[in-house]
Amino acid sequence: MLIDGIPANDIGGAFEFANLSTSGANRVEVFRGANSVLYGPDALGSVIQVTTRRGSSGVPEFTYSADDGNFHTLRQEASLGGAFHQFDYFTDFMDFETQNSLPNSSFHNGTFSGNFGWQAKQSTDVRFTIRHTATGLGDPNALAFYGIPDDAFQREQDTYMGLKVQNQTTSQWRNSLQLTSTTLRFNYDEPAPEGIPFGGNYLGNPVTLCGANGFCSSGQAILDYGGTYPSLFNSHTAVQSLYGLSNYDFMPDLSASAGIRYDHESGYTNSAGTLSPTSRNNFDYFMEAHGSLGHRAFATAGVGLEDNAVYGFAATPRVSIAYYVRRPSSGSFFNGTKLRFNYGTGIDEPSIFNQGSSLYNLLSTLPNGPQLISQYRVSPIGPERSRDFDWGVEQLLWGGRARLGATGFRESFFDLVAFVDNSLLPQLGVPGPVAAAVPFGAAVNSDSYRSLGAEVELEARLSPELRLQGEYTYTDAVVTQSFASSAQAPAFNPAFPNIPIGAFSPLIGGRPFGRPRNSGSMALIFSKRRFGMSATGYFVSRSDYSTFLSDENFGNTLLLPNRNLLNSYQLIDWSGWFEAHCGVTFYTSIGNLLSEHYQGAVGYP
C-alpha cells in the first residue's frame, strides 16, 4: 500500500483499509499481481497507490462540503489549493463521524493531507507530501453471536510524510530521490468484562446460530474470559526510507531502470505488559528493462534483491509480455486485440509479533537457547512468499467505445507464517530437543495456499452521457498445507459428529476463510454538464468461515461446519449531484439502497 509513493503498511504488511479515506485524493491506482521488484517486501499479491491532488489554479481555490445522514452521520471537508510562480500547494481536511446502527459501534475519522511542490529549475522538481489520519471506534465484538456488546474501543494515529526530488538530468536520463517517514500508533482498551458471569468467565446471551450451509446450533458462547482488566494492547511502528531511482532511455524502444531502497524499521507490540520490540535495517536493490518491437510487442523484465535484517537474502523476479494481434484503429467494430502474460514473485517480511514468537527468537531467550540454535542450525523466521501467473486477452469494440477483457490466473502463497504447537513441530523437521524447549509452540513458515480463477471485465460508453462498467471474478482457492492445530486436529460438534471443523483456521483441502468463489460488480454512470447520477451493485457469493466460538464448558457445541458458512449478499448504492449555481453543488448518496441485512465478516451484522 502506497500513499504518494510512501509505503503505508505496518511491518509485516498489515494495513487497515477502513481508516483510509479518499479525501484529498486525485486518483487511486491498483496494480495486479505480486511485484516486489519495484515495490519491495509487502508487494505479495498486488499494489495499491493513492495520490494526493496538486494545486494548479493561479487564484487560490477553496472548497467546502458537508453532508448529514442517518445513524447520526456527519461528514465535512475543506480544501485549499493553487499555484504561484514556481510553487504549487494543496491542503485538505476531512472529518467524519457516525454512531452506526449498533451499540458501541461509533466511528470517527479525521484526515489531513497536503501536497506542496517547488519547480527549483526547469529540470528539477521538489515535492513534499503529508497525510495524517486519526481514528477512533467502538469494538462491540460479534453481536450476532453474543447478543451483548463488548465495551472495548480502539484509537489509531497514522502519519505518512515524503520528500521527493526529481531531475531530468539529460534528455535520456531521469533520476529521483525520495525520503519517507511512516509512523503508526495503535491502542486497544477493554475496560471491563461484559456478559453474564459463569465460572470465572462471562457469557453472551442465549442465541441460535444458523449458517448459510443450513446447519444451526443454540447455546451461550464465552464473550470475555476472566483475567486482569482493563485489558490493554498497544503497538508503535516507525519506518524511515530512502529510495533512489534512475531511468535511462537507450533508444525509443528500449529503456532500463535501476534503484536502491534503504529502510530503517523500529517498533514494538505491548500485550498485557509483554513487550516485543524490533529494530531492522533493510536494503533492497532492483533493476528492470522495458522494450518494444514494431509498436506491437512489449516486454518488461526485472529482478529485486532483498537484504533483510531478519531473514537475509531473497530474490524476486518479474516478467510481463503484451502483444497486439490487431492494433487499435477507428475503422472497424473489432479495432484492437491485445494478448498479455505476467509472471511475478513477491515476499512479505515477518511482523513484529511473528518475529517475537518465532522459534529462533524464543530459543534466544532461553539459557541453553544459543547452544540449541548452533547445534541444530536453527534459522531466523523467513519471509512469506508468493508466485503468480496471469494471462489474458483484451478486445476493443465499437470503434474504441467499449473494452472487453478476460484473464485467467494462478497464484501460490507459501512459507506462510502460522503458530504451530510444539507437538507438531517435528513434522516440519524441527529436532525433538528444539521442539521440547518451546512448551507452547512457535511461529514458523509452515502453511501454503493455492488459487486458480478467471475474471471478465467490460467497459462501454453507451452515449456521450452514459457509461457502463462491470466485472466478474471466479476464484477457486484451496489450503494446500497447514500445521495449525485446528487443521491437524479438527474439532467436532456433537450435533454433527461426522463433519470435521476448523475451529480457528481452515482445514487442509478447504477454502481459506472469507474467500468467496464468485464475486462481481456493476456500475451505470450518467453525467451531464450540470447534473449526474450513478448506480452501483456489488455481488458476493457464500464463503467458508468459522464461528470461532467456545461454549460455557469450553466445548464445540457452537461451532458450525466451515463450508459455505457465511451467506452471500448483494449491495446496491445510488448517488446523484446537481450544480445549482457556479461553484455550488448539491449531492446525495444512498448506501445499501435495498436495506439488505448481511454480514461482511461472520458474526458482524
Whole-number CA gyration radius for the chain: 26
Least confident of 228-232, 272-276, 585-589: 272-276
- Whether the predicted pLDDT of 13 surpasses 80: yes
- Whether the predicted pLDDT of 25 surpasses 90: yes
The contacts of residue 546 (CB under 8 Å, 6+ apart) are 501, 502, 503, 504, 505, 506, 513, 559, 560, 562, 565, 602
Assign 571 a pLDDT band (cuts: 50, 70, 90): very high
The contacts of residue 251 (CB under 8 Å, 6+ apart) are none
| 251-261 residue pLDDT tens | 999 999 999 99
* Pair 598, 604: CB distance under 8 Å: no
- Residue 500: predicted pLDDT: 96
The residues pairing with 475 across neighbouring beta strands, listed in sequence order, are 453
* Cα maximum dimension of the chain: 78
* Pair 14, 104: CB distance under 8 Å: no
Assign 336 a pLDDT band (cuts: 50, 70, 90): confident
DSSP letter assigned to residue 434: H
Assign 51 a pLDDT band (cuts: 50, 70, 90): very high
Residue 422 lies in a domain: no
Mean of the pLDDT values across residues 132-148? 96
Residue 38 lies in a domain: yes
Residue 360 lies in a domain: no
- Residue 44: predicted pLDDT: 78
Assign 272 a pLDDT band (cuts: 50, 70, 90): confident
> Pick from 277, 298, 313: which residue ends a domain?
277
- Interior/surface letters 322-360, b for 16+ CB within 10 angstroms, e for the rest: bebeeeeeeeeeebbebebebbbbbbbbbbbbbbbbbbb
Residue 185 lies in a domain: yes
The contacts of residue 520 (CB under 8 Å, 6+ apart) are 470, 471, 472, 473, 538, 539
Residue 535 lies in a domain: yes
Residue 603 lies in a domain: yes
The residues pairing with 513 across neighbouring beta strands, listed in sequence order, are none
Question: How many separate domains does the chain show?
Answer: 2
- Whether the predicted pLDDT of 41 surpasses 80: no
Residue 581 lies in a domain: yes
- Whether the predicted pLDDT of 275 surpasses 90: no
Least confident of 31-45, 118-132, 202-216: 31-45
- Residue 138: predicted pLDDT: 96
- Residue 449: predicted pLDDT: 95
Assign 474 a pLDDT band (cuts: 50, 70, 90): very high
| 188-201 residue pLDDT tens | 999 999 999 999 99
Query: Which of 33 and 264 is assigned the larger pLDDT?
Result: 264
Binning the chain into helix, strand and coil, the percentages to the nearest 5 are 10, 60, 35
Mean of the pLDDT values across residues 199-224? 95
- Residue 136 in 3-state DSSP? strand
Residue 293 lies in a domain: no
- Residue 171: predicted pLDDT: 92
Q: Domain range for residue 14?
A: 1-211+223-277
| 498-556 residue pLDDT tens | 999 999 999 999 999 999 999 999 999 999 988 999 999 999 999 999 999 999 999 99
Please report, rounded to a whole number, the percentage of residues in the chain having pLDDT higher than 70.
Answer: 100
Please report, rounded to a whole number, the percentage of residues in the chain having pLDDT higher than 90.
Answer: 86
Name the residue type at position 357. Answer: S
- Whether the predicted pLDDT of 35 surpasses 80: no
- Residue 400: predicted pLDDT: 84
Q: How far is CA 580 from CA 68, 81, 585, 586, in A?
A: 19, 23, 6, 7
> Pick from 259, 277, 295: which residue ends a domain?
277
- Residue 492: predicted pLDDT: 96
Question: What is the dihedral sign for C-alpha 489, 492, 498, 500?
Answer: negative
- Residue 395: predicted pLDDT: 94
| 308-331 residue pLDDT tens | 999 999 999 999 999 999 888 776
Q: Please give the mean pLDDT across all residues of the chain.
A: 93
- Say if residue 230 is preceded by a cis peptide, omega within 30 of 0: yes
Assign 123 a pLDDT band (cuts: 50, 70, 90): very high
| Cα 382–chain centre separation | 21
